[in-house]
């Protein structure tokens, strides 16, 4: 009747991801490492070993979705504060890494310069999902810097890849002005498309209104941004990132609590599965890539992978321990001096240059033939070298990162919890101030208003015992449930208004807004009923 092979592979993938994720959480093991090993084991199954992964699957499906979620949950305030470091690391560090790898590949491995730069572009960008999965124990500032770098540097690497690939395949000749033009189109076009799609998505959310339709709009948004940008030869990666950051800024003001819960739940589950599947795919590609190397011996390919990985890691170390000192010499402003990170604090940043989905996608996107119809030179070796760098950074650096963090001697990172507490207190204060006005507008009986006030004061007393004594002599008579619910929802809206005002004034971080807003949304859904289509 039908061939169940596809469904069997899909179910097996899901079972492996579930089992290894549970094992990682139970044992405290690095989840990406286990998932990669699981992918290697799956590659030994004959049916799965024959499975070919289309490059378009990673580039067009996995990448937009994962980058969109990362941008939605990244702190825009911290990006602005460390914008100079972000630009340097996401543009110039990528170029420096690509050049260093190209030089090593040319002189040590004998690659043609164009092919060597293709390799440099493949392994130059760090991966946002890998950083989030492996480096989550870092202090929030360092983690945000790494995530922001990973979100933007993909665009730089893809431009370098496009230029180098055009030269390697004979489609074009390298010209400095042409390369600079490609960079300008890529970045400016990506930013413009991202802003446009964010505006259209906000408009569509307002028109859709229904939570289920708003979720559909959210699902379509990253793919529309990526597709439109790629159609004008701009950076689809940057378009998705800008779009996500814009929606994260405006979305809380135009989306209902029910819609936010649905959207958040969808993306949380979806990106977890996509992220885990990517690590499994990395492991699956390794045995096949090694077995199909024909241009070099297996030993030479493995040695080349280790060499390239060392160059990648060393370039990042040199960058983080030279460029900051140059900047310190040039910029002596007190505000910048206060934001400096010491050598111990920079060490985890240098050690956390994890490679992942982007490098795998770019490597698989290398064409089989040139424009002349000849096989692309050493394509099989490029894939092995890319996988080698991914494994060394994810496994080697990932497993040793906890020791590096301990060496950094970071003090307790309480800034996030302090801001969450501040947001809760300030929003509750605002709710208490607004309560008489909101109760009067809704003609709420005095007894009911007093009961609601007592509840709000009780919450504030828990957060701040110095707030005052609680009034225990309350009238417990039954009141109209709908009227009480309406008043409580109005107080939640007031708290949200103050919460976003605190964010807009840079008093609290975007991540704090996500945390407290989720609490308020869950409380509202508890009043209105379980989430679902209205």
pLDDT tens string for the chain (534 positions)?
Answer: 566 777 877 888 889 999 999 998 888 777 888 888 888 888 887 777 677 767 677 778 888 998 899 899 888 887 888 888 888 898 899 999 999 999 999 999 999 999 999 999 999 999 877 787 777 778 888 888 888 888 888 888 888 888 888 888 877 677 777 778 888 888 899 999 999 999 999 999 999 888 999 999 999 999 999 999 989 988 888 999 999 999 999 888 888 889 999 999 999 999 999 888 888 888 888 887 887 777 778 888 889 999 999 999 999 999 999 988 888 777 777 766 666 777 788 888 899 889 987 888 888 888 878 777 788 888 889 989 999 999 999 888 888 888 888 887 777 778 888 889 999 999 999 988 998 898 888 888 887 888 888 888 877 777 777 665 555 444 443 345 678 788 888 999 999 999 999 999 989 888 899 999 999 999 888 887 654 444
Task: Tell me the C-alpha distance between 508 and 504, whole Å.
Answer: 8
What is the pLDDT, as a whole number, of residue 477? 38
* Whole-angstrom distance, CA of residue 399 vs CA of residue 134: 9
Contact in structure between 68 and 243 (CB atoms under 8 Å): yes
Note every long-range contact of 9-16, with CB atoms under 8 Å and residues 24 or more positions apart, other chains counting.
Answer: 9/47, 9/48, 9/51, 12/42, 12/45, 12/48, 13/42, 13/277, 13/280, 14/273, 16/42, 16/280
Burial of 442 (0-12, 13-18, 19+ CB in 10 A): middle
Distances 342 to 142, 215, 321, 335, 338 between C-alpha atoms, Å: 12, 43, 10, 15, 11
**Alpha-carbon span 312 to 154, nearest angstrom:** 15
Strand, helix or coil at 125?
coil
What is the token pair recorded at 523?
């409380």
Q: How many CA atoms lie within 13 A of 338 on its CB side?
A: 4
> Would you call 428 helix, strand, or coil by DSSP?
helix
Q: Tokens 């009780």, residue? A: 458
Max CA separation in the chain (angstroms): 88
Q: Output the pLDDT for position 336.
A: 67
- pLDDT of the residue at 360: 83
Say how many Å lie between the first and final Cα of the chain, rounded: 39
Give the position of tokens 């008043």: 487
Q: In the 8-state DSSP scheme, what is residue 156?
A: H
C-alpha closest to that of 269 among 120, 69, 15: 69
Closest to 352 measured CA to CA, from 410, 313, 323, 322: 313
Say if CB 123 and CB 385 are below 8 A apart: yes
In 64-189, which ranges are E strands?
A: none
∠ CA(290), CA(291), CA(294), 5° rounding? Answer: 90
For residues 89 and 148, the answer to whether their CB atoms sit within 8 Å is no
CB atoms within 10 A of CB 12: 14
* pLDDT for res 251: 84
pTM: 0.85
Range 5-407 has CATH code 1.10.357.10: no
Q: Where in the chain is the domain with CATH 1.20.1530.20?
A: 5-407
| Residue 369 DSSP class | B
The span from the CA of 485 to the CA of 524, in Å, is 9
Distance between CA 521 and CA 258 in Å, rounded? 7
Q: What 3-state DSSP class applies to 73?
A: coil
Specify the residue for token string 């000192």. Answer: 325
Residues 110 and 43: their CA atoms lie apart, in Å, by 31
Distance between CA 226 and CA 243 in Å, rounded? 10
pLDDT for position 414:
80
Cβ neighbours of 492 (radius 10 Å): 19
pLDDT, position 533:
44
């Amino acid at each position: 009747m039908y061939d169940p092979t596809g469904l069997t592979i899909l179910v097996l993938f899901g079972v492996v991801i579930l089992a290894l994720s549970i094992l990682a959480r139970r044992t405290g093991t690095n989840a990406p490492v286990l998932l990669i090993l699981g992918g290697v084991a799956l590659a030994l199954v004959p049916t799965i070993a024959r499975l070919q992964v289309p490059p378009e699957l990673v580039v067009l499906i996995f990448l937009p979705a994962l980058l969109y979620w990362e941008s939605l949950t990244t702190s825009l305030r911290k990006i602005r504060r460390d914008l100079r470091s972000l630009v340097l690391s996401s543009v110039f560090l990528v170029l420096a890494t690509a050049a260093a790898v190209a030089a090593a590949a040319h002189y040590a491995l004998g690659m043609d310069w164009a092919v060597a730069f293709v390799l440099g572009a493949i392994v130059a960008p760090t991966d946002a999902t890998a950083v989030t999965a492996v480096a989550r124990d870092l202090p929030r500032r360092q983690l945000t810097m790494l995530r922001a770098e990973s979100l933007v540097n993909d665009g730089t690497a893809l431009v370098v890849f496009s230029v180098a690939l055009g030269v390697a395949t004979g489609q074009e000749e390298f010209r400095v002005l042409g390369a600079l033009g490609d960079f300008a189109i890529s970045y400016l076009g990506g930013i413009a498309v991202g802003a446009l799609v964010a505006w259209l998505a906000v408009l569509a959310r307002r028109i859709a209104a229904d939570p289920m339709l708003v979720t559909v709009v959210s699902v379509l948004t990253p793919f529309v941004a990526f597709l439109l940008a790629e159609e004008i030869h701009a950076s689809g990666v940057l378009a998705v990132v800008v779009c996500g950051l814009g929606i994260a800024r405006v979305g809380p003001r135009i989306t209902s609590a029910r819609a936010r819960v649905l959207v958040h739940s969808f993306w949380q589950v979806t990106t977890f599965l996509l992220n885990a599947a990517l690590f499994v795919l990395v492991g699956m590609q390794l045995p096949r890539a090694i077995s199909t190397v024909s241009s070099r011996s297996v030993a030479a390919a493995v040695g080349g992978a280790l060499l390239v990985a060392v160059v990648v890691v060393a370039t990042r170390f040199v960058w983080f321990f030279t460029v900051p000192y140059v900047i310190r010499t040039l910029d002596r402003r007190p505000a910048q001096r206060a934001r400096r990170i010491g050598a111990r604090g920079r060490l985890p940043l240098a050690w956390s240059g994890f490679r992942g989905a982007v490098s795998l996608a770019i490597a698989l996107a290398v064409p089989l033939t040139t424009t002349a119809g000849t096989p692309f030179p050493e394509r099989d070796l490029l894939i092995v070298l890319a996988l080698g760098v991914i494994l060394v950074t994810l496994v080697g650096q990932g497993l040793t990162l906890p020791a590096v963090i301990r060496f950094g001697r970071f003090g307790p990172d309480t800034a996030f919890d302090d801001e969450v507490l501040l947001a809760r207190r300030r929003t509750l204060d605002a709710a208490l101030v607004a309560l008489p006005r909101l109760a009067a507008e809704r003609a709420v009986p005095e007894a009911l208003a007093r009961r609601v006030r007592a509840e709000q004061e009780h919450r504030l007393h828990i957060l701040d015992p110095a707030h005052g004594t609680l009034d225990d002599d309350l009238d417990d008579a039954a009141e109209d449930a709908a009227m009480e619910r309406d008043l409580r929802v109005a107080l939640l809206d007031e708290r949200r208004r103050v919460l976003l005002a605190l964010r807009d004034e840079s008093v609290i971080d975007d991540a704090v807004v996500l945390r407290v807003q989720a609490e308020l949304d869950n409380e509202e859904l508890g009043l209105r009923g379980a989430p679902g289509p209205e």
